[in-house]
Each structure stands twice: as structure tokens, then as C-alpha cells.
């Protein structure tokens, strides 16, 4: 129980920020490209309560934590309501709206990385803040990689649908009703993590280190 409390304390803010800004980014991008649905429904918001799904964001992760002793965690937020038909160029703009969420996670991973360097440069000795910053990087890299997996309804699936020629895009989009079950099966078989998430997270992490490399001169 103490381990759970410590884990929740460290990850609570990073997870809330990661989920909130991911979903809000979709809403901001949709409005920019012509779809006001999320805005009209109050989902273009930085208020975490607007995006938290009690079952998917809280109950499922806690149950999985106890059921697997912390070895496997999964959760989700309330999807932002989108009407791709309202976008100015629906097929093209769908990719930008989908990409906005993972892009927000990459940006947050960068911010948490900068915080790690700031804490080190500032000589902050409190371990909790360093653990939280590292949790922020990990959480956002996980969300970045997972959501880019190219199966709808994940963001990567919508991006791929946008890029495919119309005939193939239509056929590919038809798997969306079954996409969640396909993704869950691949998660449980560890296919997604081994063959997709681990490489994507490694590349994204390497890019982050390249971006912040000038800060190494302070050490």
C-alpha cells in the first residue's frame, strides 16, 4: 500500500497534465482547422476534470496495478468529441488534429526534461521533485508512442488513414469499431511495447537529449 501511495504521489501531476494537454491539444487543433464541436461542448479546456473518465482514468489503472503488482498499467481519458466533416479539408486536416495530441506529449516530455536539468543545476536535493520530473518524461513518452500506433481509433491510425489514398483509407477506417480490441490484444501480447513503443520511445528520448544537450555545459 505504501508503494501505491508513493507511486500515485509521484505520477499524479504528470499523468493529469499529460492527459489534459493531450486532449486539449486535439480540441485546439480541431477548432483551428474548422471543427468547433469540442469547443462548443466545453472540452477545449485545461481543466483536468473535463477530460478525466472515472472508470478509464482511475478505476482501471488502480485495478490493474493490484492485479499485476504494478507490472501492467493501462488507462484512458474521455475522447474529445470531433466531427471531421466540419474540418475545412477533412482528410488532410484529420492528420493534423490527430497529431496534435502526441505533439503535446512530446512538448511536455521536453518541459519535464528541462525541469530535471533545472533541478540539477539549482542543486535541489529533494528527491521527490526529481522523481516527479522523471515520471513526467516517462509518462509523456509512453503516451506519445502509444497514441502514434497506426491502428484507429488511436491517433496514429487516424494519421495513417489521412495519408492513404481514398480507396484504401476508406477500407482501413472500417476497422475502427474493432480497433480497441485489436490494440488491447496486442498490448497483452506485448507486441505493441516490444515492436513499436520501445523503439519510438528510444528515438523520442534521443531527440529530447539532443535538444537539451547544450545544457550539459553547466555540468
Residues 215 and 219: their CA atoms lie apart, in Å, by 8
- DSSP type of residue 111: H
Residues 14 and 113: their CA atoms lie apart, in Å, by 12
Residue 217, judged by CB atoms within 10 A of its CB (0-12, 13-18, 19+), counts as: exposed
* Residues recognised as catalytic: 23
Cell of 3: 508503494
**Residue 3: CB partners within 8 Å, gap ≥ 6?**
70
Taking residue 112's Cβ as centre, other Cβ atoms within 10 Å add up to: 23
**Residue 166, CB half-sphere, CA atoms under 13 Å: how many?**
2
Cell of 214: 547544450
Residue 178, judged by CB atoms within 10 A of its CB (0-12, 13-18, 19+), counts as: exposed
Amino acid at each position: 500500500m505504501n508503494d501505491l501511495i508513493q507511486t500515485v504521489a509521484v505520477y499524479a501531476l504528470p499523468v493529469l497534465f499529460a492527459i489534459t494537454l493531450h486532449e486539449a491539444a486535439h480540441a485546439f487543433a480541431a477548432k483551428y482547422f474548422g471543427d468547433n464541436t469540442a469547443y462548443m461542448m466545453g472540452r477545449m479546456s485545461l481543466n483536468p476534470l473535463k477530460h478525466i473518465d472515472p472508470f478509464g482514468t482511475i478505476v482501471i489503472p488502480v485495478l490493474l496495478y493490484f492485479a499485476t503488482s504494478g507490472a501492467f498499467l493501462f488507462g484512458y481519458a474521455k475522447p474529445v468529441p470531433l466531427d471531421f466533416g466540419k474540418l475545412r479539408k477533412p482528410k488532410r486536416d484529420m492528420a493534423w488534429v490527430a497529431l496534435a495530441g502526441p505533439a503535446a506529449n512530446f512538448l511536455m516530455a521536453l518541459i519535464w526534461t528541462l525541469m530535471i536539468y533545472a533541478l540539477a543545476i539549482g542543486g535541489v536535493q529533494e528527491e521527490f521533485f526529481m522523481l516527479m520530473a522523471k515520471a513526467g518524461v516517462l509518462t509523456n513518452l509512453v503516451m506519445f508512442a502509444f497514441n502514434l500506433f497506426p491502428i484507429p481509433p488511436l491517433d496514429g491510425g487516424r494519421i495513417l488513414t489521412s495519408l492513404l489514398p481514398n480507396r484504401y483509407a476508406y477500407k482501413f477506417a472500417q476497422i475502427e469499431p474493432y480497433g480497441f480490441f485489436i490494440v488491447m490484444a496486442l498490448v497483452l501480447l506485448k507486441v505493441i511495447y516490444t515492436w513499436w513503443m520501445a523503439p519510438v520511445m528510444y528515438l523520442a528520448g534521443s531527440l529530447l537529449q539532443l535538444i537539451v544537450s547544450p545544457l550539459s555545459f553547466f555540468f
